[in-house]
Amino acid sequence: MRVLVIGGGIGGMAAALALLGEGVEVEVYEAAPELEEIGAGLQISSNAARSLQRLGLGDDLERVGVAAEAIDMRDLRTNELLHHTPLGEAAAQRYGAGFYQVHRPDLLGMLVAALPAGIVHQGQRCVRVTQDAEGVTAWFESGRTASGDVVIGADGIHSVVRRQLLGEQGLEFSKIIAWRSLIPASRAAHLDLPPRCHVWWGPHRSAVVYWVSGMELLNFVGIVPSEEAHAESWTAQGEVATVRRSYEGAAPQLQAIVDLVEAPFVTGYYFREPLPRWGTGRATILGDAAHPMHPFLAQGACQSIEDAVVVARCLSRHGRAGAADALREYEDRRRPRTSRVQTLARSHERMWHMSDPEEIDVRNGQLRTMMDVDPAGETIWSWIYSYDPLEHADAAADDPAAVMQRTESRRAWRLWANMIGPEDREKGTPGIRDAYDRMLLDNFPATEGTVIEEVDADGVACLLVSPPDTADGPVMVHLHGGGYLVGTAASSTGLASRLAAAIGGRCLVVDYRRAPESVCPAPVEDTLTAYRWLLHQGVAPSRVAISGESAGGGLAVAAAVALRDGGDSLPSCLIALCPFADLSLAGSSIDETAGQDPISTRQLLTQMAASYLQGQDPTTPLASPVYADLRGLPPLLIQASDVEALRDDALRLAAKAEGDGVDVEVDTYDDAVHMFPIFDFLSEAGRAVQQVGSFVQRHV
């Protein structure tokens, strides 16, 4: 097999090396007459470093790169440390490779030096590619042509190959630019900057600083609104005074770095929505040609390197006769990953450049809690840095839902796994909220004949869910799930309608305040207000149960603790369905079920805990009732799945309650997803709801 790689940048050279390593013949065609990269830095995180090690370049990367000790994120105005991620040897142990900061020309030179002579052809600007059943042909401005079995476009954001394959694709200017400069170490020695990635976040702007070239050069990147500069090309020279004006009022440490900048040049950032496909037949694209990245995850070069090793492995596996199949497999394996990175990198601009003081306080509180809950920073970075592209390329292309045993449980698994799309992720918390409500409301509406009324419970919005002929029955105060971050009373009415029917009564579903706008104990306070309002309507406490799913399950127990401590009359019983009951995330099942539970991942749980706590102790009892004194609480029913991430939260809560003298029933269900009672097509959902009904009827 012979592969033509169009483009001799980092992605193209990495592809050539990977193809040679797989025994595939390759030729690289580069438009520039001389191989060169713009004199700036880039970061090679552990995922890409591992790939370079696999290509035999581990020692070379150590030589040309600076091993980063940590990532420090600070407030641009005050220099307050917002988040610290340890790297160095800890990252190498955790993710399988270190984290390096590299001068672009050094990295490109390292890749080129590893290639045999005669493979790279310079001064060959591709103008057209064609293909037929037998192979591909690339046509060059020089009049030269080249033929092969496959063509890979690694020719950047303005890719000729992509345009030939897919037509014109929209490219939008992001309205942000980056000032870039390299500062000699001799001028920056007094700054005493350790070999870390130093990041400053500020209103409408940020800065990133790190050492490259054996700590001989300090790389500065200043990201500001585009109207503060008047150039969009990679090499346009800027005025030093303009850069300094962009950082007036910055923290003294950052200001001192900016004052050292000389002859800055400008980078304009562009983006394109994730493409639905990357190629046709024997032709494909990689790197910026396929998925241009915003800089906020530092993954542009890294994702190109991942692309390179995966496309090489797929081509090697399928061989010449299966070239088109190989490229389809490459695309199927890579597009979900790059789309997620691409989307989140773009969405991070808002987090970096927040300007509203209240939003900044919330963000900073979340970051402080994340350092408490996850001091290694795995929640933020593990999904990127621990990724092994070759391991992924070699994995069987099985249905990931096959971790579940039954057809119906796989259906439920897929609903969770596919709930949040790229557009939802890009919108951040509002997008995730929309996705959660959409999934529940579209799939699990209230049962037919149920009446749903809006209720103002002394200022707390609630929904009263009443099946037919249940006005005289008990009342269940129900608390929706969603990790305190997402979910609404409306999205929980499907489950509430079935619970109400099972108890022969009604459900008062509380629309409690959510994080990050409101923090612990706001949902507890809202639950108590709604409960007290219900009693004031003449409903006896002995006729009331409090229930909740997921975070609502933990909240139900926390609310009962607060009622007891406040001297209130307690409800007849409590029900915690798959409870999120330990926001310190100490339960071992969170990691044991990684890959099995598609929704309650450590990453998402940490985000939820950080949003709710915002600097509070994760073991505070009203947030994490596994640490509460549960003595004197009413009978408690706990349900959970054997294979969900929060299984240990449920079991530990049951053990704590039993140890404190509470009458506890705990039931676990095999081959069930998190919050399985919601999924009304599951047989175990019906059994669980009926068990709740029997439990409540025994105690009211």
Residues carrying an active site annotation: 210
Identify which of 30, 50, 328, 63 has the alpha carbon closest to the alpha carbon of residue 156: 30
Radius of gyration of the chain (CA): 28
Helices (H), 374-481: 378-385, 389-394, 407-417, 422-426, 429-443
* Whole-angstrom distance, CA of residue 321 vs CA of residue 23: 15
Which string of b and e fits 378-391 if b means at least 16 CB within 10 Å?
bbbbbbbbbbbbbe
Sheet of 636-641, strand order: 451-457, 460-466, 506-510, 475-479, 544-549, 573-577, 636-641, 664-669
Dist CA 166 CA 273 (whole Å): 14
DSSP classification of residue 227: G
Quickly count: other Cβ atoms within 10 Å of residue 59's Cβ.
8
Exposure string for 668-696, b = 16+ CB within 10 A, e = fewer: bbebbbbbbbbbbebebbeebbebbbebb
Give dist(CA 386, CA 16) in Å, integer: 24
Specify whether the CB–CB gap between 261 and 217 falls below 8 A. Answer: no
Cα–Cα distances (Å) from 549 to 166, 480, 506, 511, in that order, read: 46, 6, 17, 13
What 3 state SS string does 97-152 have? CCCEEEEHHHHHHHHHHCCCCCCEECCCCEEEEEECCCCEEEEECCCCEEEECEEE
* 162 φ/ψ sector (left φ>0, alpha ψ -120 to 50, else beta): alpha
- Which residue type does 640 have? A
- Interatomic CA distance for residues 689 and 694, integer angstroms: 9
Question: Quick one: which H or E segment has residue 595?
Answer: none
CB 139 within 8 A of CB 158: no
CA atoms within 13 A on the CB side of 171: 18
Q: Hey, is 3 helix, strand or coil? A: strand
Partners of 6 in the β-ladder: 29, 153
DSSP run (H or E) holding 193: none
Query: What residue type is 174 in one-letter code?
Result: S
Amino acid making up residue 438: R
Residue 530: alpha-carbon gap to chain centroid: 34
Token pair belonging to 16: 């050539």
* Nearest-angstrom CA–CA distance, 622 and 581: 9
For 22-32, give one letter per residue: b (16+ CB within 10 A) or e. Answer: bebebbbbbbe
Residue 604: in which H helix or E strand, if any?
helix 602-613
- For residue 187, give the DSSP letter: H
Asked if 523 and 530 count as a contact pair (C-beta separation under 8 A), the reply is: no
End-to-end CA distance of the chain: 75
Q: In what order do the strands lie in the sheet with 205-212?
A: 81-86, 70-75, 197-202, 205-212, 217-225, 172-184, 265-271, 236-237
With CA atoms as reference, report the closest residue to 515 among 406, 420, 605: 605
